[in-house]
Copies of this chain bind each other. A is one copy, B any other.
């Protein structure tokens, strides 16, 4: 009887919220307008045609420099702590660089004289879950079978990974090693070392290391990501890692600069193929970024200003979760020190229902299931919360509604039994 009372009470509250007719979109990890405004000097960073020369005097308004603006590559090298020659500057999308890297492996093979993946039968990737939907979509489109491995709070379950890589058809693993999308966890020293020293059966196995949030700290106790390139250097795993990074969440989203970082051999191999694809990336945007960002320290200072805008939104989310959900059995969430997401596990088999209820109440969440390959969350419990875009007040409203829906769906579920 207590449950049923709670259920009708929650329903009444839900109906009241629906009548308010709110419209709040929390579906994607988009920077908010205030964050975009931090970089408006970027618009004017090239003040005249005389600004359109690299330090070496190359006119970036013309063809040439397939490797991009050298001084920008140097800036990324400093920022990411890798040698300049291990960086390829791409266009505006690191996702595009990942997709292209997968496609090249399928069509032409990786460095090291292995057959193209298309000629090796079934290809499988390890997908730590919950994870980033667009990584999984690339695999799905390319017919790469995805095998899930749970995240532990400090990276993927490496015992399971070590088991899986004994299969030579397992060719890759997606990783978001710092402030993972959506759990916000950072891989521990031990996890990174185990990845760096893994012994995959496939000689052309590659770790796709998506450093989307490596400098995206929110507070004064940021996570530290161990340097995997330092660990694999001069080992037989030196060609194991393709890493990716972009300024989409530093300057402008979708109009920043994407980069790929890898071993000398992998980079040489990738460049040789990219030469068939394009004459050069857009160097105007590159030089504009160089003139605006100037130094790695400036970039870090800019990230602090992003954090000032984002932190209250994350704090609000966590505060409301703690207040509303602490007592709800089977509900858990992450409280990350950076990145763009909070992962919320609701009562098993209610995530789809929660998202549907939220939608009815005017709050759009990332679709339930999106954080799993094939959009199939076997326990139907994970939701990705993206607090960056709305205002603090909107986040507060949306999270209160979400918590109500979490509890209503839980009560509905309990009533079924």
Contact = CB atoms under 8 A, between A and B. Distances in A.
Interface string A248-289: 100011110000000000000000010011111111110000
A273 B91 contact: no
Contact of A95 (B49, B64, B142, B279): B279
A46 B238 CA distance: 44
Contact of A284 (B61, B255, B276, B277): B255
A374 interface: no
A40 interface: yes
Given A282-B285, A284-B285, A40 B48 contact: yes
A184 interface: no
A46 B92 CA distance: 18
A36 interface: yes
Interface string A33-62: 100110110011011110110000001111
A138 B275 CA distance: 10
Interface in A116-169: 118, 134, 137-138, 141-142
B43 A96 contact: no
A67 to B, nearest CB: 13
A101 to B, nearest CB: 11
B253 A92 contact: no
Given A43-B46, A48-B43, A95-B279, A60 B255 contact: yes
Given A91-B91, A91-B92, A106-B107, A63 B279 contact: no
A46 B44 CA distance: 8
A105 to B, nearest CB: 11
A108 interface: yes
Nearest to A60: B255
Interface in A210-264: 248, 252-255
A142 B277 CA distance: 11
A93 interface: yes
B276 A138 contact: yes
Contacts of A37: 49
B278 A95 contact: yes
A341 to B, nearest CB: 15
A311 interface: no
Interface in A17-47: 28, 30-31, 33, 36-37, 39-40, 43-44, 46-47
B252 A284 contact: yes
Interface of A: 28, 30-31, 33, 36-37, 39-40, 43-44, 46-49, 51-52, 59-64, 91-93, 95-96, 99-100, 103, 106-108, 118, 134, 137-138, 141-142, 248, 252-255, 273, 276-285
Given A31-B62, A99-B276, A107-B107, 5 more contacts: A39-B61, A91-B92, A93-B280, A134-B276, A137-B276
